[in-house]
């Protein structure tokens, strides 16, 4: 399965609504609640938004049609700990996670960026009304994974960071839907253990049927 590399760049202008972006804030249907989970005390806690992929933008790089040709695929996870927030979610480790440790939302009717007035940007603010999430980065796509020393973000990445032959039972045939590498910016420092990666995993059956509510994840160390 050939990877589709993600190139992250700082945009000169705001990314269009429902455009492919890393960090920033997710675009959600009006009235749709920001994804949350319960912490150890039973209080609601927001998942960290990682990225959203506009599948219309992705389609030219996915000739095998592994993903739908249109729609918005949005990734959230409990990675606050890996962003240097020790009180935040930390359910992800070197073992395949439970389904509630990550959230992948799929909105099939989303078209090209800027064509979806029923969606709005959902901004999380702190007590001083300052946005919580790191500033948005534009996602561009390329055929194949990184071949240099740049960040190794990719869809359908090869499991090169895995030190064993296959995933543990019963996930042996599961594939990497999205790989997020450790990297830093002016307003964040994302470190998965010792500069490892976060892999979102999906079963072949769910990938074929376009079902993303049973995705799991694992953190792999370098």
Q: Give me the CATH number covering residue 155.
A: 2.30.320.10
**Residue 32 token pair:** 């749709």
Look at residue 181 and tell me whether its pLDDT is greater than 70: yes
Query: For residue 42, what are the domain limits?
Result: 4-220
- pLDDT tens-digit series, residues 58-116: 999 999 999 999 999 999 999 999 998 876 656 799 999 999 999 999 999 999 999 99
How do residues 18-45 score in pLDDT, each as one tens digit?
999 999 999 999 999 999 998 777 888 8
Mean pLDDT over 180-193 rounds to 95
pLDDT at 151: 82
Mark out the alpha helices in the chain (DSSP H runs).
55-58, 204-209
Query: Quick one: pLDDT at residue 149?
Result: 52
* Token code pair at residue 29: 């249907």
Count how many domains the chain has.
Answer: 1
Q: Give me the percent of the chain exceeding a pLDDT of 90.
A: 84
Which conformational region is residue 37 in: left (phi greater than 0), alpha (psi within -120 to 50 degrees), or beta? beta
Per-residue model confidence (pLDDT) at position 148? 60
Q: What is the pLDDT of residue 206?
A: 98
Q: State the pLDDT confidence band at 156, using cuts at 50, 70 and 90.
A: very high
Helix (H, G, I), strand (E, B) or coil at 98: coil
């Amino acid at each position: 399965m050939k990877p589709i590399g993600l190139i992250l760049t700082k945009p000169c202008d705001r990314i269009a609504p429902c455009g492919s972006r890393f960090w920033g804030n997710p675009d959600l249907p009006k009235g749709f609640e920001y994804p949350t989970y319960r912490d150890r005390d039973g209080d609601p806690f927001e998942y960290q938004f990682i990225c959203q992929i506009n599948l219309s933008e992705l389609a030219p790089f996915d000739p095998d049609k592994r993903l739908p040709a249109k729609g918005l695929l949005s990734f959230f996870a409990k990675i606050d700990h890996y962003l240097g927030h020790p009180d935040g979610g930390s359910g992800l480790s070197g073992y395949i996670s439970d389904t509630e440790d990550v959230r992948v939302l799929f909105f099939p009717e989303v078209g090209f960026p800027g064509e979806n007035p029923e969606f709005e940007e959902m901004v999380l603010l702190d007590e001083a009304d300052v946005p919580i999430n790191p500033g948005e980065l534009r996602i561009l796509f390329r055929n194949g994974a990184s071949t240099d020393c740049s960040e190794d973000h990719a869809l359908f990445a090869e499991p090169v960071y895995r030190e064993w032959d296959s995933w543990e039972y019963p996930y042996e045939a599961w594939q990497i839907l999205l790989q997020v590498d450790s990297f830093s910016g002016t307003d964040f420092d994302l470190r998965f253990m010792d500069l490892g990666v976060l892999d979102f995993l999906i079963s072949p059956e769910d990938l074929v049927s376009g079902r993303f509510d049973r995705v799991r994840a694992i953190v792999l160390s370098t």
